[in-house]
Structure 1
Amino acid sequence: MSRDSRVVVVTGASSGIGRETARAAAGRGDHVAVVGRNPDRTRSVAADIRGEAYVADFDRLDEVRMLAAKLLDRYDRIDVLVNNAGGLVSERALTVDGHERTLQSNVLAPFLLTQLLRPRLEATAALPEVVPGTVRVLATASMANQWGRIVPGDLEWAERPYRRGWPVYGAAKLAVVMWIRELAERLAGAGVDAYSVHPGAVATSFGSSSRLVRLGNAVLGGHWGRSALSGAEPLIAFSSTFPVDAPSGTYFSRFRADGRVAAQASDAELRRELFELLARLTG
């Protein structure tokens, strides 16, 4: 890896749109840190694209901290962090950290990783050879944010009906949109931009524990949704040096800026409260 090579970190990169994003980044000459939970798949993807494998289970915040430490020790620069790990859990369960699993994998873990890598991202943006506006934090969101509702006193869904995880997933993706907007404000002037992105309905292993998703796959013969490569297209573009013609903090529905979001996403005070709450929950 050349000292001048762009470094792109992609989480959830052992399959689906994360794998396609990692493969495309490597294909354009970037050095890719391939982050995944499954050791065999993660190492296979890294070997295939000549990247480097990092195994971490986002159900464990200690592994997120160890991941950040390894990345900081390995890379003098980090140009792009693609927070793509996460998913839908049909039955409420807690992680070893005591947090609801959907909240932790979709929100708490990527929030923690971003905060730990943030100084390195800011330092990269200050390098004289770096093109302004090309150091970025990306997070995979979802149109499901529109039915999400943030209740600061019950982020863990201990007091609300779980309903096979769908309202929980919607709230988690709304939290992603809100966290990225608040992060963008806090990064103002640092040279690091932040965006959340809905990839579209993608035919991957997403929601494999959901009976509704399994039924849809059975009825449609597994042909519902766009391919993983098609779904990855926005992440591929935004993780490159491709100019983003939208303010930092924007939520994209595919390539369309200012996609539809729940009303709470516009509540600046709630966004600040959520950000501080996430900081406390992640220590």
Structure 2
Amino acid sequence: MSVRATRTALITGANSGLGKAVATVLAKDGLRLGLVARGRARGEAALAEIRGASGNDDVHLFVADLADQDSIRALAQDVLARFDRLDLLINNAGTAFAERRLSPQGIERAFAINHLGPFLLTNLLLDLIKASAPARIVNVGTRIDAAIDFDDLNWERRPYGLMKGYAQSKLGNLHFTFELARRLKGSGVTVNCVFPGVFKSNLGGTDGAQGVFWKLLAKLGGWAIPTPESAAQRVLYLANAPELEGVSGEYFANRKTIVAPAQARDAAANRRLWEISERMTGMVGQSGGGD
């Protein structure tokens, strides 16, 4: 088999829920696949299950805490050492917290995981992704109308709330998607954001936030909550659809483009968050795709 024939993908948050559902389909499709999980025990259980369900042994486990930038840097080094190409990166991992918590770097934890985690990991892997072009980056977002308070990203002055912290951090995915797409124009690498719908998951479940989260979502949206396997199809569309070759800088839901919140459509705001994110991750002058 030629190098070109083996499409290689990496997906974060792959040990359960949406990430596991997406990973299972990709493994069945014969991709060489990297699964990123926070815990080794749960990651190894998911690895065995996905290999068994797909018959694909070319599935590999990477363990990292996406709240910790040192762990993300170690993850990137591990990926670069083990994979010679990366055709698809799916930034899926996300979480929510009932109370304000800080990362090891002193950053509000939802923002650290949901926005800065994908920002840092993507930029650390970007040279490999560009060398593998045509390649795709898929950021899994949400659909909550919100705006980022650039003067209080760490929630030091405002009262913190689960939905408020989650919404601000996930809006960062859209700012990141649109600015990265601008920087990658002409590179052969596309980046898009997808809202997979609301589905039952263990989002924030370890701190008791899950029950509150789903009650709030049901109250706000009244959506019927599908399975992760159903939601996975929306992510897989961005990962695989031939008609999306060359399509970049878009926001999708249910295989159609949708309108992003106003702030994320502001090019100056996108650039501003990018520059802030560079400083918060120590990537000034190192992040990819041009200026």
Structure 2 residue aligned with 1:84, among 88, 92, 112? 92
SS at match of 1:139: strand
1:6 paired to 2:15: no
Alpha-carbon distance in 2 for matches of 1:87, 1:197? 16
* Alpha-carbon offset, residue 233 of structure 1: 0.8
Identical columns (%): 34
The alpha-carbon distance between structure 1 residues 154 and 119, as it changes in their structure 2 partners (threshold 3 A), is: same
TM-score, structure 2 length as denominator?
0.86
Structure 2 residue aligned with 1:198, among 188, 192, 195? 195
Alpha-carbon distance in 2 for matches of 1:92, 1:60? 16
Alpha-carbon distance in 2 for matches of 1:25, 1:261? 28
* Alpha-carbon offset, residue 173 of structure 1: 1.4
Query: 1:41-79: CA deviations, max 9, x gaps?
Result: 211222332310001011211110000001011111000
Which residue of structure 1 lines up, in the alignment, with residue 152 of structure 2?
A: 154
1:266 paired to 2:265: yes
Alpha-carbon distance in 2 for matches of 1:72, 1:47? 23
Matched letter for residue 177 of structure 2: I
Which residue of structure 2 lines up, in the alignment, with residue 227 of structure 1?
A: 227
Query: 1:172-215: CA deviations, max 9, x gaps?
Result: 11111111000000001110000111000101112433252365
Matched letter for residue 15 of structure 1: S
Structure 2 residue aligned with 1:176, among 168, 173, 178? 173
- Equivalent residues in 2 for 1:94-243, closer than 5 Å: 94-125=102-133, 132=134, 135-144=135-144, 146=145, 148-163=146-161, 165-208=162-205, 209-210=208-209, 211-213=211-213, 225-240=225-240, 242-243=242-243
Matched letter for residue 159 of structure 2: P
SS at match of 2:90: strand
Alpha-carbon distance in 1 for matches of 2:153, 2:100? 13
Whether the aligned pair in 1 keeps the contact of 2:163 and 2:213 (CA below 8 Å) is no
Alpha-carbon distance in 1 for matches of 2:261, 2:214? 27
Query: 1:256-277: CA deviations, max 9, x gaps?
Result: 21x2322101111111011111
Whether the aligned pair in 2 keeps the contact of 1:25 and 1:240 (CA below 8 Å) is no
* Alpha-carbon offset, residue 155 of structure 1: 1.2
Alpha-carbon distance in 1 for matches of 2:196, 2:215? 22
The alpha-carbon distance between structure 1 residues 141 and 216, as it changes in their structure 2 partners (threshold 3 A), is: closer
User: Structure 1 segments of 4 or more deviating over 4 A?
Assistant: 214-217
Root-mean-square deviation over aligned CA pairs: 2.2
Whether the aligned pair in 1 keeps the contact of 2:237 and 2:255 (CA below 8 Å) is no
SS at match of 2:168: helix
Matched letter for residue 251 of structure 2: Y
Query: 1:18-50: CA deviations, max 9, x gaps?
Result: 001111001011011011112112112223323
Alpha-carbon distance in 2 for matches of 1:5, 1:179? 28
Structure 2 residue aligned with 1:57, among 65, 80, 83? 65
The alpha-carbon distance between structure 1 residues 2 and 203, as it changes in their structure 2 partners (threshold 3 A), is: farther
* Alpha-carbon offset, residue 245 of structure 1: 7.0
Which residue of structure 2 lines up, in the alignment, with residue 71 of structure 1?
A: 79
TM-score, structure 1 length as denominator?
0.89
How many residue pairs match? The answer is: 268
Alpha-carbon distance in 1 for matches of 2:268, 2:95? 27
Alpha-carbon distance in 1 for matches of 2:233, 2:204? 21
Alpha-carbon distance in 1 for matches of 2:215, 2:139? 28
Whether the aligned pair in 1 keeps the contact of 2:190 and 2:246 (CA below 8 Å) is no
Query: 1:89-147: CA deviations, max 9, x gaps?
Result: 1100111111000000100111100000000000011xxxxxx4xx1111110012x1x
Could you tell me which runs of 5 or more consecutive residues in structure 1 were left unpaired when the two chains were aligned: 126-131
Alpha-carbon distance in 2 for matches of 1:167, 1:216? 11
Matched letter for residue 171 of structure 2: L
SS at match of 2:242: coil
Alpha-carbon distance in 1 for matches of 2:149, 2:213? 26
Alpha-carbon distance in 1 for matches of 2:179, 2:64? 26
SS at match of 1:239: helix
Alpha-carbon distance in 2 for matches of 1:69, 1:216? 39
SS at match of 1:108: helix
Matched letter for residue 87 of structure 2: D
